[in-house]
C-alpha cells in the first residue's frame, strides 16, 4: 500500500528511491512498484537549464516508457516558453509554472492522464520542491542528482538543507558514488 501523504515534514523530504540518472528508471522498475504514470520535472532532472530541446537519450527514455504503457507528464516550475519548446518534439502533457511543491498541478496532471495517486510517481532533482510536492499527496519521490546545479547562494542553501535527508536515505538504502554531489559524510557501520 502507498504512502497516504504525511504531515511529518521529515518524511516529505526523504526520497523513496534515488538513481544516478533519470534513464536508470526503467519501465520494469516502475511496474514493480505499481507505477503507471510519472510526473517529471525538466530542469536539472532530464536536461540542464540551457538545453532547449530533448536529446536522443531523453527521447529514447520517454519512448521506452510509452511503449511499456507508462504515461508521463512534464510538471515544471519554469515558464511556458521554456516548457513548450522542450516539449514540442515530445508531445507530452506539460504544465509550466506548476507552483511545486503545491499539489494543484500534480492533481490536475493525474486527472488528465487518467491515473490515480496509487499509480503515479514524482521524478525530480530537488527535495524541497519535487519530493515534497509528490510525497505530501502520497506519491513516491524518485530523485536524481541535478545534472548541472545552479551555484547561487539560494541553491547552495537549498542543497545544504537537503543533505540530512540524502544521508538518511543512504543510511537506509546504501551509499552510491553519485551521492557525493550532496557532500554527505557517510560511514558504514562496523559489524
For 3-32, what is the mean pLDDT?
83
Residue 39: the pLDDT is 98
pLDDT tens digits for range 47-71: 999 999 999 999 999 999 999 999 9
pLDDT at 156: 78
Which one has a higher pLDDT value, 157 or 140? 140
Is the pLDDT at 2 greater than 90? The verdict is: no
Indicate the pTM of the whole model: 0.88
Domains and CATH numbers, the chain: 9-148 (3.40.50.1000)
- pLDDT category of residue 151 using cuts at 50, 70 and 90: confident
Q: CA triplet 128, 109, 88: central angle to 5 degrees?
A: 95
Report pLDDT digits (tens) over 75-133.
999 999 999 999 999 999 999 999 999 999 999 999 999 999 999 999 999 999 999 99
Residue that has been written with the C-alpha cell 510536492 in this structure? 133
> For residues 124 and 63, what is the distance between their CA atoms, to the nearest angstrom?
19
Region of poorest pLDDT, from 4-8, 74-78, 184-188: 4-8
- How far is it, in rounded angstroms, from Cα 145 to Cα 152? 17
Q: Is 90 in a helix, a strand, or coil?
A: coil
Query: Following CA atoms 182, 100, 85, 20 in sequence, which dihedral angle do they give, to the nearest 10 degrees?
Result: 30
Q: How far apart are CA 153 and CA 62, in angstroms?
A: 33
Amino acid at each position: 500500500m502507498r504512502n497516504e501523504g504525511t504531515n511529518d515534514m521529515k518524511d516529505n523530504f526523504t526520497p523513496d528511491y534515488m538513481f544516478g540518472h533519470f534513464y536508470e528508471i526503467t519501465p520494469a522498475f516502475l511496474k514493480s512498484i505499481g507505477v503507471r504514470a510519472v510526473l517529471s520535472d525538466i530542469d536539472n532532472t532530464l536536461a540542464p537549464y540551457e538545453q532547449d530541446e530533448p536529446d536522443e537519450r531523453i527521447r529514447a527514455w520517454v519512448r521506452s516508457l510509452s511503449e511499456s504503457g507508462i504515461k508521463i507528464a512534464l510538471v515544471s516550475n519554469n515558464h511556458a516558453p521554456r516548457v513548450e519548446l522542450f516539449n514540442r518534439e515530445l508531445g507530452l502533457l506539460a504544465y509550466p509554472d506548476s507552483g511545486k511543491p503545491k499539489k494543484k498541478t500534480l492533481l490536475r496532471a493525474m486527472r488528465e492522464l487518467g491515473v490515480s495517486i496509487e499509480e503515479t510517481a514524482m521524478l525530480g532533482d530537488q527535495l524541497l520542491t519535487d519530493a515534497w510536492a509528490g510525497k505530501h499527496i502520497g506519491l513516491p519521490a524518485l530523485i536524481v542528482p541535478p545534472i548541472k546545479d545552479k551555484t547561487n547562494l539560494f541553491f547552495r542553501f537549498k542543497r545544504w538543507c537537503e543533505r540530512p535527508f540524502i544521508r538518511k536515505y543512504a543510511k537506509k538504502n546504501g551509499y552510491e558514488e553519485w551521492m557525493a554531489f550532496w557532500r554527505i559524510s557517510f560511514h558504514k557501520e562496523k559489524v
